[in-house]
Amino acid sequence: MRLIIEPDYLSLSRWAANYVAAKINAANPTPEKPFKLGCPTGSSPLGLYKGLIELYKKGQVSFENVITFNMDEYVGLPEDHPESYHSFMWKNFFSHINIKKENVHILNGNAEDLRKECAEYEKAIQEAGGIDLFMGGIGPDGHIAFNEPGSSLTSRTRIKDLTSDTIIANSRFFNYDLDLVPRTALTVGVGTVMDAKEVLIVCNGHNKARALQAAIEGGVSQMWTISALQMHQHAIIVCDETACDELKVSTYRYFKDIEKDNL
């Protein structure tokens, strides 16, 4: 796994945006051979989306032949609720770029048959030929998408109960009212993310330091589902300095040293 340590949130977001744009451009996508991008929500990727929007506006990347698959969605929250992940994605990314509506895939947390919805989502990813690059964030407890601690590291898209930690963390989007936070979500599995050709995670701030430490220095464990990335051939975490607060000095220096000449 690569760990890119940038000085602050702005520079890590720029690094990630440039990386994603470069990957899309290198693939030279066409309608017959689109680029398949996995998309996260949360506050961590906001800077990355802003960076991609800027690159798009400067004409340095196009999303015309990009197909997206989002990581997750709350169950039971109306699609037009301001905190639904549908609303998040259109507000913060899709409505600012030239993506085609039909190329956007987000799990429907209001589907009548949630299990069927999850199975069809997996099928849609497969039929598209798999995900080229899955972008993501990390929950403070080390979860990826909504794969809470204890999730199988080979899990696929499914319904997941949210832990108290996540409900508390996400209550900031619901006026800090725990009762307003949905209790369940649909999420791609750890296995779904692991099947992507590449995974790029953004991680910033001191409150992610324990999760980053577990991801990099800990063993592979279902209790820190992000740690599954240690088994991925092409995984990158790009973080800021404060997210490194729990890393050993030697780990920090090692990654600084090996990455110093890279993009």
Under rule CB under 6 A, residue 166 binds ligand GLP: yes
The identity of residue 159, as a single letter, is I
CB of 218 to ligand GLP, least distance (A): 18
Of the candidate spans 1-9, 92-100, 134-142, 253-261, the one that interacts with ligand GLP by CB under 6 A turns out to be 134-142
Cβ neighbours of 2 (radius 10 Å): 13
Does 141 participate in catalysis according to the annotation? yes
Does 72 participate in catalysis according to the annotation? yes
Active-site entry in 6, 73, 86, 143: 143
Does 148 participate in catalysis according to the annotation? yes
Cα separation of 142 and 15, whole Å?
Answer: 22
Cβ(189)–Cβ(155) under 8 Å? yes
Active-site entry in 6, 132, 148, 240: 148
Under rule CB under 6 A, residue 146 binds ligand GLP: yes
CB of 201 to ligand GLP, least distance (A): 8
Sign of CA dihedral 93, 96, 102, 108: positive
Under rule CB under 6 A, residue 71 binds ligand GLP: yes
For the stretch 98-112, what's the b/e string if a residue is b when 16 or more beta carbons lie within 10 angstroms of its beta carbon?
Answer: ebeeebbbbbbbbbe
Cβ neighbours of 124 (radius 10 Å): 13
CB of 28 to ligand GLP, least distance (A): 29
Indicate which single residue of 39, 53, 138, 247 sits in contact with ligand GLP (rule: CB under 6 A).
138
- Residue 179, helix vs strand vs coil: helix
Among all chains, which residue has been given the structure tokens 């000095």?
249
Under rule CB under 6 A, residue 42 binds ligand GLP: yes
Active-site annotation, residues: 72, 141, 143, 148
Contact residues: ligand GLP, CB under 6 A: 40-44, 71-72, 137-139, 145-146, 166
